[in-house]
A and B are shown apart, each in its own frame.
Chain A
Amino acid sequence: SQKIEQNSEALNIQEGKTATLTCNYTNYSPAYLQWYRQDPGRGPVFLLLIRENEKEKRKERLKVTFDTTLKQSLFHITASQPADSATYLCALGGTGGFKTIFGAGTRLFVKA
């Protein structure tokens, strides 16, 4: 069955450093991969989408890579800030009616 793995352990980093989160998947060939931010008790907020034919995408302090051979995406937040503390969800989607499936997320704590 399709499976998405994100590090269940929280990631603790110091303010100003780069946070790197990992998303691995199996038994799926997604047309695109998305990253969302979720704060406690709130719905997810869309951050970035990267398509299967793209290797890297950037948006302000965010960078996402997508390696369809390794079946892995890396999500980077540069110059991290305490306000970046949240849970980050990886999601895979396909075309032709394929549903979007979500990973369990990785909790990020940025210390001042």
Chain B
Amino acid sequence: GAVVSQHPSRVICKSGTSVKIECRSLDFQATTMFWYRQFPKQSLMLMATSNEGSKATYEQGVEKDKFLINHASLTLSTLTVTSAHPEDSSFYICSARDEIASGELFFGEGSRLTVL
């Protein structure tokens, strides 16, 4: 089946620095990718929809200047957490839909961000 690769899987950074997380669709093209945030024992919360070649669509309450999303190609979307603070520590997951094959939503392995 289709694979979505997410990198890095774990990252630790100091407060005030920026962190970039990459999401790649390995064997299909994705015009749309999704970024989620998940706290322990809670559901995936959609942060934004990443649209290839255009601006991302952010969910209510998500700061677009804080969480920068770039979808520069049909196989790559990036999420940059700018000026990270300890409260940004979380599990970030991306997904992409293989719209041509099945419409199935494939998820990356997730990225655990810890801000010290």
Q: Which residues of A contact B (CB under 8 A)?
A: 4, 8, 34, 36, 41-46, 49, 89, 99-105
Contacts and interface: CB of A to CB of B under 8 A. Distances in A.
Contacts of B6: 43
Interface residues of B, number: 20
A44 B44 CA distance: 10
Interface in B26-62: 34, 41-44, 46, 49
Given A41-B110, A42-B110, A43-B93, A49 B43 contact: no
A44 B42 contact: no
A40 to B, nearest CB: 10
A107 B80 CA distance: 31
B24 interface: no
Contacts of B105: 34, 46, 100
